[in-house]
């Protein structure tokens, strides 16, 4: 996609100032600006000092058509003062300043006398620059794409009797802590799995959206809860206690569960 296509929704118009101590030359540049659709004249000045004052009032000026040889403050001196401000296209009758002009990062250098075709060529160069700048700023301001969602966890692995067993989360009814071991009660098996791990480690493995610790000895699968009493949970025909340390979090869940 070209720069012009990337900003087609908001056509580019460049705010320009013309600065020249020769009234005829100044009038010609202003006329050229006004007949160019993508340029807007926001100031005309016969001295660099007047332009400098005006730029404080018009910080939206983006491009200067700037004569070089002027009294009090030359165009080159003004360009150095405005090094990080508006861009510059120099207009001068003296070609010996060309090298200095490009040293201050001028976009172009028009040698007087120039016609509208030469002026337009320089203006189009500026247009390309500002389109690229606008596209870059729009890209930088755009929010970064969200990372792809990770697939939802649907199982864990447990070490059971010297082997690693894959256990579906949906099958876990509740987990019971027994010192250095846990009993994992499953919906599809009558005998629980016995695994050499801690209840805290199990709590870290199990997603909080599906499991909740209700006691120092119990983690329950929220989808398997059958009934809730005063400080108790009925699950798989068992009544498990909810201890004080976990009651607030469980009460918040229960308020939604109701």
Mean of per-residue pLDDT scores for the chain: 88
pLDDT at 170: 94
Residue by residue, DSSP assigns 210-254 as: TEEEEETTEEEEGGGEEEEETTEEEETTEEEE--HHHHHHHHHHH
The per-residue pLDDT for 10 is: 65
Residue 233 placed within a domain: yes
Identify whether residues 95 and 120 lie together within a single domain: yes
Based on the domain organization, do 116 and 195 belong to the same domain? Answer: no
What's the confidence (pLDDT) of residue 102? 61
For residue 200, the model assigns a pLDDT of 92
The answer to whether residues 135 and 30 belong to one domain is yes
Q: What is the mean pLDDT of the segment spanning 46-61?
A: 93
Q: What is the CATH number of the domain that holds 25?
A: 3.40.50.2300
Whether the pLDDT of residue 3 is over 50: the answer is: no
Count: domains in the chain: 2
pLDDT value at 86 more than 60: yes
Share of the chain above pLDDT 90, in %: 55
Residue 106 and residue 83 in contact, taking contact as beta carbons nearer than 8 Å:
no
pLDDT at 145 over 90: no
Q: Cα separation of 224 and 135, whole Å?
A: 54
Q: What is the pLDDT of residue 117?
A: 96
Q: Is-contact 160 196, C-beta < 8 A?
A: no
Last residue of a domain, one of 141, 165, 188: 141
Structure tokens at 199: 């209840």
pLDDT at 88 > cutoff 90: yes
Same structural domain for residues 129 and 11? yes
- Percent with pLDDT over 70 in the chain: 91
Whether 10 and 67 share a structural domain:
yes
Q: Which domain holds residue 213?
A: 155-257
pLDDT number for residue 258? 57
Q: Is pLDDT of 4 > 60?
A: no
Which residue, 1, 258, 4, 21, is CA-closest to 131? 4
Query: What's the pTM value of the predicted model, to 2 decimals?
Result: 0.55
Structure tokens, 38: 């993508």
Q: What is the CATH number of the domain that holds 211?
A: 2.40.50.1020
Tokens of 193: 């799995």
Give 67 or 83, the one with higher predicted confidence: 67
CA dist 156 and 158 (Å) reads 7
Q: Are residues 160 and 239 in the same domain?
A: yes
CA distances from 162 to 42, 158, 186, 202 (A): 82, 10, 19, 18
pLDDT digits (tens, 9 = 90+) for 112-132: 999 999 999 999 999 999 999
Residue 9 pLDDT > 60, yes or no?
no
- Give pLDDT tens digits for 228-257: 888 899 998 899 999 988 888 888 877 766
pLDDT tens sequence across 175-216? 999 888 899 999 999 899 999 889 999 999 999 889 999 999
Asked whether residue 90 falls in the same domain as residue 181, the answer is no
User: Are 12 and 74 in a shared domain?
Assistant: yes
The predicted pLDDT at position 17 comes to 97
């Amino acid at each position: 996609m070209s720069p012009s296509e990337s900003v087609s929704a908001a056509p580019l118009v460049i705010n320009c100032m013309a600065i020249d101590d020769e009234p005829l030359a100044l009038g010609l540049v202003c006329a050229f600006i006004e007949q160019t659709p993508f340029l807007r004249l926001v100031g005309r000045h016969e001295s660099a000092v007047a332009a400098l004052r005006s730029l404080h009032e018009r910080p939206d000026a983006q491009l200067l058509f700037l004569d070089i040889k002027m009294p009090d403050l030359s165009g080159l001196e003004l360009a150095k003062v405005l090094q990080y401000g508006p861009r510059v296209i120099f207009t001068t009758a003296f070609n010996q300043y060309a090298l200095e002009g490009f040293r201050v990062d001028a976009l172009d250098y028009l040698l007087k006398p120039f016609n509208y075709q030469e002026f337009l060529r320089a203006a189009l160069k500026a247009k390309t620059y500002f389109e690229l700048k606008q596209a870059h700023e729009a890209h930088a301001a755009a929010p970064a794409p969200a990372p792809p969602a990770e697939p939802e966890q649907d199982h864990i692995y447990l070490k059971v009797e010297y082997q690693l067993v894959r256990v579906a989360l949906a099958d876990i009814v509740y987990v019971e802590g027994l010192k250095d071991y846990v009993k994992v009660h499953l919906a599809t098996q009558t005998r629980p799995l016995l695994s050499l791990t801690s209840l805290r480690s199990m709590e870290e493995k199990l997603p909080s959206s599906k499991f909740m610790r209700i006691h120092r000895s119990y983690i329950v699968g929220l989808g398997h809860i059958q009934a809730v009493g005063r400080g108790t949970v009925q699950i798989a025909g068992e009544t498990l206690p909810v201890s004080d340390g976990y009651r607030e979090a469980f009460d918040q869940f229960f308020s939604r569960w109701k």
